[in-house]
């Protein structure tokens, strides 16, 4: 089964509104004829600005997180209702920085996944092991647990709006990329986990992105692997000059 490639830029906590607008405009122009599926996920404060620029183009609009509740007394949080109001289509959840720096656990991430799906969003669920976990031979087990717990209670119908991003924590922002073979092995394993949960057809269809020091010079080798269907790009997504060659790989 052929799956469409999906290249996403996670801008993390970078860019003022004017900087975000400049990048979004450059991407709209330069990816106009791009063949793949694209997404940018600006920081919350720049979402509205970027929304006006990517609206009606082939670039989807993402957010990097959302609250686990629709509304209420949750100081500092941003809700799915507010994201929907801005035109956000996709929410990235369970990013390793949320898991490890801000201590989000699988139960909280699962609550967010279900809420975002219930509100019609596409969800990019991030999974990935720490270096110590990889060295202890636990990479598959960690990714399996994060996948199973992250998707607990998600229906087969809603799974069609879920993308998994495999982001080994040791490869994020470090310049160390997983080899295409190592990444593909985890992707194949996660696909098998999806197969156990939702059946062979869902496993064959689900998009699994790779993230962790993806650059123009390694994107094509990674994407050539059978189970790697796209990329979730951090550092290299911050400039059109470095993101466009990844987005137009091949
Ligand atoms: P880098 O591409 O900077 O390694 O970041 C990857 C990432 O965390 C994307 O979500």
Cα 1 to ligand 1 centroid, rounded to whole Å: 28
Q: Whose CA is nearest to atom 5 of ligand 1?
A: 234
Cα 172 to ligand 1 centroid, rounded to whole Å: 5
Contacting residues for 58 by C-beta, under 8 A, at least 6 apart:
31, 32, 34, 37, 38
Answer yes or no: is pLDDT of 1 > 80: no
**pLDDT attached to residue 205:** 98
> What percent of the chain shows pLDDT beyond 70?
100
Q: Of 157, 77, 92, 167, nearest to 131 (Cα)?
A: 167
Q: Of 167, 139, 169, nearest to 231 (Cα)?
A: 167
Mean pLDDT, to the nearest integer, of 123-150?
A: 98
Which ligand 1 atom minimizes the distance to the CA of 172? 4
Cα 173 to ligand 1 centroid, rounded to whole Å: 6
Q: At 78, is the secondary structure helix, strand, or coil?
A: coil
Mean pLDDT, to the nearest integer, of 64-85?
A: 98
**CA separation for the pair 196, 102 (Å, rounded):** 30
Q: Is 230 in the pocket of ligand 1 (CB under 6 A)?
A: no
Q: Whose CA is nearest to atom 1 of ligand 1?
A: 234
Q: Which residues are catalytic?
A: 95, 167
């Amino acid at each position: 089964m052929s799956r469409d490639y999906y290249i996403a830029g996670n801008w993390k906590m970078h860019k003022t509104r004017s900087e975000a607008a400049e990048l979004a405009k450059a991407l709209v122009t330069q990816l106009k004829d791009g063949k793949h599926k694209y997404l940018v996920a600006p920081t919350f404060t720049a979402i509205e600005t970027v929304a006006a620029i990517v609206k009606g183009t082939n670039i989807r609009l993402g957010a990097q997180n959302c609250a686990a509740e629709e509304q209420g007394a949750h100081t500092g949080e941003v809700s799915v209702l507010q994201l929907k109001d801005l035109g956000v289509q996709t929410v990235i959840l369970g990013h390793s920085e949320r898991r490890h720096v801000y201590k989000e656990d699988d139960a909280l991430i699962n609550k967010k996944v279900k809420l975002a799906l219930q509100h019609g969003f596409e969800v990019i669920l991030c999974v990935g092991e720490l270096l110590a976990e990889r060295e202890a031979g636990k990479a598959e087990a960690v990714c399996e647990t994060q996948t199973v717990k992250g998707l607990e209670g998600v229906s087969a119908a809603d799974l069609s709006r879920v993308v998994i991003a495999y982001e080994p924590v040791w490869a994020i922002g470090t310049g160390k990329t997983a080899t295409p073979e190592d990444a593909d092995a985890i992707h194949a394993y996660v696909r098998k986990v999806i197969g156990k949960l939702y059946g062979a057809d869902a496993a064959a269809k689900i998009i699994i992105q790779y993230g962790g020091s993806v650059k123009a010079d390694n994107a094509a080798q990674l994407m050539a692997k059978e189970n790697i269907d796209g990329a979730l790009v951090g550092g290299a997504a911050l400039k059109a000059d470095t993101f466009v060659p990844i987005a137009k790989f091949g």
